Chain A
């Protein structure tokens, strides 16, 4: 039942497009013509072709809950105590640039990364802010937008027998899904944590008692009992299922592809360098995955919604991040992967300028930090600034649209391109964003 794989823009290019159309827009090939018409109408204004981007892969480190800019990459040592908070700051390898005192290892690699201190949007609720930061769009009542990873899966397709978009360990939020593109472009979620000593990826390994030889028998039997039904395989859903089975066979039977998920294959020294904890092992696995062919990995780490006792929260959560992140950047660099791998650290928003009565900080989307590295981004840059108390952008505010457009640009995707949402509605990948060339090397 496995069908020959198609090449060019990925094995799904042909029938998945068809599948999407039939799924969303109805038969008789309705959407393609209309899309061409829409494109033709504006062809003089917009270019839709992919180009070769600087980044071949993305590791998106998602810090759920809303991380405090003050207690991480944008400390305010000169602000009054109630704004500054209790924590101190340290010098970094960039003269005059200070990070939180618990980022010593990251401080040493500050000359390899770009810290954006002027990220801004207007959504102070977790789910709405999360939507902004995963899709480049404000939430809409009419449409669920696809996340970065799903757009990448849709535009670029799989590579080296591996799923194009992986979430690690789980889907961090519904907004990280495929939205209107349909679950065929959704992430492959691991369902288990690489920090767990008994880590395995769910359903990736053959079940107990089934060796490769028996699996081959099973495949043969599946072919035998499936042949009768094959007469119907002009149906989009059947074809998609068939494709996923052949991709699953690929994964299950390709030792190389499966090895991408095998964190135990990393030397102990490397695993220790990243840290034997959630931050460390997730970032290490993310590196393995993009190295093996996954295009975009989203990993989530920690709970950053620190309404109370922010010092305790940061003290517990930040050091593992510091160790893992610095190790990741150094490891990518050592392997020659940093220039082709975009690493983005982001969160749904930042936190209030002033410490609240519970010694915590509350939601604050007006200004916060995003950290970018590799994949064509400048080394050793602090981009933009917040004001003296980290309340408003003071310089070069970075919008959600511009961030998304710049990330897509690094990947060679024109964010102005229109995708087709249900109802034959043309929707730009990002609406109205600009590439921030100042961020790019």
Chain B
């Protein structure tokens, strides 16, 4: 049974070639260059790559124009000379690249634009952050829209609120806008940039020119490219510059490296300066973010120790999941933990698939199964159980927030809604069909139960936020009031999405407890800044034609389309999170640019396969639990002990409230009672989010009032510890179930009874030391039954029971 616990690992050392440090190739960024005006510049980055996957910034590459007539190169930066199509020749260490260069309007010097030149200064210098002038009421009497969501308003406030003071075209340098920011006069926010710096000069020149507004709408920003797109750097204190290029709808682009805000999500590994220079630190992975206007993008950077001797363990029998996980681990120079033994696997997978622990009989049968693929067999068996269905009905009931709502959703409606869900999951109906039927549901809350989704949340904005979070894994709430600072969503996106729900109407049915949800076909979503009606538009997608049908039908089709990149990945990630205690995107309903997946290719492939399988949820689950990645031990090694996000070892996960209560009942042989359910029903089966008891609430059952996956609380608390120590959960159940009394009555010796309790609770036999310690304690105790019950109590109060591992 321990055959898997010590996996034989063969080690292959990196080829010694890697030490020679001759690059095997170079990359040049940006891959093509356009210069648009006499002022336009473009920095060029050259990155060398090595056989072991490392990259290195090339500090002084040879950059030559193919024809010196069109542009010049100064300090790695291209400067336009004459219009034309030409090439940049890049040479380094024997590798050559040719980069196409287009120069247009080389002789024109357009005036400064408020939106394109001035607003970015506020963003770059942090002026319009929430804690500064971007606060709802501004700061110290000056307000800017948060992250620049309202350029027209900002223009008004700058030019009209304190004329002659805030801006003074007669003495531009003395304008408060400049003097405060450069620290020339006292400023609560301190000095934001130097007098004479590029940022200061932009403001001064703009004010000197009369602080003009943009005469016509400016070209809309459509993209931001951050280079290099990825880096794998060996050693600390290595510098890696980044270059950002903004792309506009008119085909122009601009080097905005000096105008972006930069951030790192992991400073100890990679710290980024305001100029976009990264300095590496301790080993790990960081995500370098750049924000320009409404767009935030990022590049991952991995830092490994210099000259690290590392060999990735060779294992056999992995699946496609493992291949993708291993590839990431190898790049991080992390060796995964080994594969767990059969007993550990059986308890883990039984808990995860059915919300129960294996019975002693199930354990014995599994251990006696000599087939090499016995794990696959037991997974198949567990997937076929009704408990598997019940567990996922509960998960979806949480996502759909199934609960009674006073005067809106009656207990009967909840029951019908829950039954609808149960039938869908039990039949393994394709998930896309289920979600499509729900999002577009019309009719009575009794006759077509998924309409309850629209009955339990009647606020249009809240409802659209719920839909985005539940089915796309996005939290768009921020964009209700301002452009999302760390994601792509603007207020336009937010209200365009909310417009899909604007025409939902509700009326009472014949039964006073029933409501009819229908499409009224009228009503417009108003944009809060412009006051204009907003047409429905998919998040990050097109504006569909909705004049001839329920807007929600168009939305449902888009959400569940196999081409929608978000939905399949989101559902796959929900499944993944259930089995690993951590999402590839974490939290699973918080996908955003600044919260990238820890393994993008893995998430993409999970989503792709899920959609391609016809949305077969059981297949998805099977692929996950039969991977070696799922079957690793929790124990860590020197390389992966600090890794929590790349699935290099199993996580120790507290068992969720409902399952823990069910398992307590199971191992103590006692029964639960919930309102409206028969004696002995499981907590997992409870339909209404409002139904709870002290145990469930204390251990973090979600009330389902909030769509957030974080509403299910897994964190420990003092009340939980006290309840298990002294409450009825362990102490009383042990007595009620009478297992110890029965075993004593059957004449079993102490050690046999205790072995049985270990098997019940932990799915394993006690170690020799555990047996000796517990049996001697029992033998020394005055009351044998009480003492054995104390052993039982101790088992239930230990992390090995409370956690899945």
Minimal beta-carbon separation of B518 from chain A (angstroms): 27
Report Cα–Cα, A226/B798, bound state, in Å. Answer: 6
Report Cα–Cα, A115/B715, bound state, in Å. Answer: 40
| A105 interface contact, C-beta 8 A | no
Known: A226-B799, A422-B710. A182 touches B715 (CB 8 A): yes
| A251 interface contact, C-beta 8 A | yes
A-facing mask of B693-729, CB < 8 A → 1, else 0?
0100000100000000010011111111111011110
Report Cα–Cα, A238/B732, bound state, in Å. Answer: 25
Known: A218-B790, A229-B800, A244-B716. A141 touches B465 (CB 8 A): yes
Known: A210-B731, A242-B799. A220 touches B126 (CB 8 A): no
| A315 interface contact, C-beta 8 A | no
Contact B268 A29, beta carbon cutoff 8 Å? yes
| B188 interface contact, C-beta 8 A | yes
The interface-forming segment of B194-202, B418-426, B634-642, B670-678 is: B634-642
For B710, B722, B758, which residue has the most chain A Cβ atoms within 10 angstroms?
Answer: B722
Contact B777 A220, beta carbon cutoff 8 Å? yes
Contact A225 B800, beta carbon cutoff 8 Å? yes
Report Cα–Cα, A251/B718, bound state, in Å. Answer: 10
Report Cα–Cα, A210/B475, bound state, in Å. Answer: 49
Report Cα–Cα, A184/B462, bound state, in Å. Answer: 28
Known: A184-B716, A210-B731, A423-B486. A235 touches B797 (CB 8 A): no
Contact B715 A237, beta carbon cutoff 8 Å? yes
The interface-forming segment of B173-181, B259-267, B388-396, B498-506 is: B259-267
Contact A241 B654, beta carbon cutoff 8 Å? yes
Q: How large is the interface on A (under 10, 10 to 19, 20 to 34, 35 or more residues)?
A: 35 or more
Report Cα–Cα, A45/B187, bound state, in Å. Answer: 9
Q: Quick one: which of B188, B713, B725 contacts A203, CB cutoff 8 A?
A: B725
| B805 interface contact, C-beta 8 A | yes
Of residues 603 to 658 in B, which have CB atoms within 8 Å of A's CB atoms? 634-636, 641-645, 651-654
| A255 interface contact, C-beta 8 A | no
| B230 interface contact, C-beta 8 A | no
Report Cα–Cα, A169/B342, bound state, in Å. Answer: 47
Contact A44 B190, beta carbon cutoff 8 Å? yes
Contact A142 B477, beta carbon cutoff 8 Å? yes
Contact B694 A184, beta carbon cutoff 8 Å? no
Residues of A within 8 A of B642 (CB): 27-28
Contact A222 B131, beta carbon cutoff 8 Å? no
B-facing mask of A391-431, CB < 8 A → 1, else 0?
00000000000000000000000000010001110101001
Known: A28-B644, A248-B722, A423-B590. A183 touches B800 (CB 8 A): no
Report Cα–Cα, A36/B715, bound state, in Å. Answer: 26
Contact A33 B719, beta carbon cutoff 8 Å? no
Residues of B within 8 A of A29 (CB): 266, 268, 284
Of residues 456 to 483 in B, which have CB atoms within 8 Å of A's CB atoms? 461-462, 465, 475, 477-478, 480
Report Cα–Cα, A437/B800, bound state, in Å. Answer: 53
Residues of B within 8 A of A234 (CB): 636, 641
The interface-forming segment of A87-95, A186-194, A359-367 is: A186-194
A-B contact count (CB 8 A): 208
Minimal beta-carbon separation of A24 from chain B (angstroms): 9
Residues of B within 8 A of A229 (CB): 798-800, 805
Minimal beta-carbon separation of A263 from chain B (angstroms): 18
Report Cα–Cα, A28/B265, bound state, in Å. Answer: 10
Contact B264 A34, beta carbon cutoff 8 Å? yes
Q: CB-nearest residue of chain A relative to B802?
A: A241
Of residues 263 to 282 in B, which have CB atoms within 8 Å of A's CB atoms? 263-269, 271
Report Cα–Cα, A232/B803, bound state, in Å. Answer: 11
Known: A237-B652, A238-B652. A141 touches B462 (CB 8 A): yes
| A316 interface contact, C-beta 8 A | no
B-facing mask of A208-252, CB < 8 A → 1, else 0?
011000100110111011111101101101101110110111011
Q: CB-nearest residue of chain A relative to B486?
A: A423
For A204, A224, A428, which residue has the most chain B Cβ atoms within 10 angstroms?
Answer: A224
Report Cα–Cα, A249/B722, bound state, in Å. Answer: 8
Minimal beta-carbon separation of A211 from chain B (angstroms): 11
Contact A221 B777, beta carbon cutoff 8 Å? yes
| A173 interface contact, C-beta 8 A | no
Residues of B within 8 A of A26 (CB): 586, 598, 644-645
A-facing mask of B656-674, CB < 8 A → 1, else 0?
0000000000000000000
| A96 interface contact, C-beta 8 A | no
Residues of B within 8 A of A33 (CB): 264, 266-268, 271
| B774 interface contact, C-beta 8 A | yes
Q: CB-nearest residue of chain B relative to A191?
A: B694
Residues of B within 8 A of A357 (CB): none
Known: A28-B642, A234-B636. A240 touches B794 (CB 8 A): no
Minimal beta-carbon separation of A432 from chain B (angstroms): 7
Residues of B within 8 A of A334 (CB): none
Report Cα–Cα, A278/B101, bound state, in Å. Answer: 80
Contact A248 B725, beta carbon cutoff 8 Å? yes
Known: A202-B694, A252-B722. A183 touches B773 (CB 8 A): no
Contact B726 A203, beta carbon cutoff 8 Å? yes
Of residues 18 to 35 in A, which have CB atoms within 8 Å of B's CB atoms? 19, 22-23, 26-30, 32-34
Report Cα–Cα, A33/B271, bound state, in Å. Answer: 9
Residues of B within 8 A of A42 (CB): 131, 189-190
Q: CB-nearest residue of chain B relative to A44?
A: B190
Q: Quick one: which of B284, B643, B731, B770 contacts A225, CB cutoff 8 A?
A: B770
Report Cα–Cα, A429/B766, bound state, in Å. Answer: 49
| A350 interface contact, C-beta 8 A | no
Report Cα–Cα, A44/B187, bound state, in Å. Answer: 11
Residues of A within 8 A of B722 (CB): 202-204, 248, 251-252
Of residues 128 to 187 in B, which have CB atoms within 8 Å of A's CB atoms? 131, 135, 137
Report Cα–Cα, A224/B791, bound state, in Å. Answer: 9
Report Cα–Cα, A32/B643, bound state, in Å. Answer: 16
Contact B795 A34, beta carbon cutoff 8 Å? no
Of residues 273 to 315 in A, which have CB atoms within 8 Å of B's CB atoms? none
| A320 interface contact, C-beta 8 A | no
Residues of A within 8 A of B22 (CB): none
Minimal beta-carbon separation of A61 from chain B (angstroms): 23
Q: CB-nearest residue of chain B relative to A230?
A: B799
Report Cα–Cα, A186/B718, bound state, in Å. Answer: 9
Q: Quick one: which of B477, B598, B723, B786 contacts A141, CB cutoff 8 A?
A: B477
Contact A248 B718, beta carbon cutoff 8 Å? yes
Q: CB-nearest residue of chain B relative to A188?
A: B718
Report Cα–Cα, A92/B131, bound state, in Å. Answer: 44
Report Cα–Cα, A228/B762, bound state, in Å. Answer: 11
Report Cα–Cα, A431/B327, bound state, in Å. Answer: 45
Q: Quick one: which of A22, A142, A217 contacts B777, CB cutoff 8 A?
A: A217
Residues of A within 8 A of B790 (CB): 214, 217-218, 221
Residues of A within 8 A of B331 (CB): none
Contact B267 A36, beta carbon cutoff 8 Å? yes
Residues of A within 8 A of B263 (CB): 34
- Pull 30 A–B residue pairs with CB atoms less than 8 Å apart, ordered by A: A32-B267, A33-B271, A34-B264, A34-B265, A34-B266, A34-B267, A42-B189, A45-B188, A142-B475, A188-B718, A188-B719, A191-B694, A202-B727, A204-B722, A218-B797, A221-B773, A221-B774, A221-B794, A225-B770, A229-B805, A232-B799, A234-B641, A237-B714, A241-B799, A248-B725, A249-B725, A252-B722, A422-B590, A423-B486, A432-B135
Additional 12 contacts, C-beta under 8 A, given A33-B271, A191-B694: A28-B266, A33-B264, A141-B462, A203-B726, A221-B791, A225-B795, A238-B799, A244-B718, A248-B725, A252-B722, A252-B726, A424-B265
Pick the 4 closest A-B CB pairs, nearest first.
A33-B267, A27-B644, A221-B794, A203-B722
Chain A residues in the interface with B (C-beta under 8 A): 19, 22-23, 26-30, 32-34, 36-37, 41-42, 44-45, 140-142, 163, 182-184, 186, 188-189, 191, 202-207, 209-210, 214, 217-218, 220-222, 224-229, 231-232, 234-235, 237-238, 240-242, 244-245, 247-249, 251-252, 418, 422-424, 426, 428, 431-432
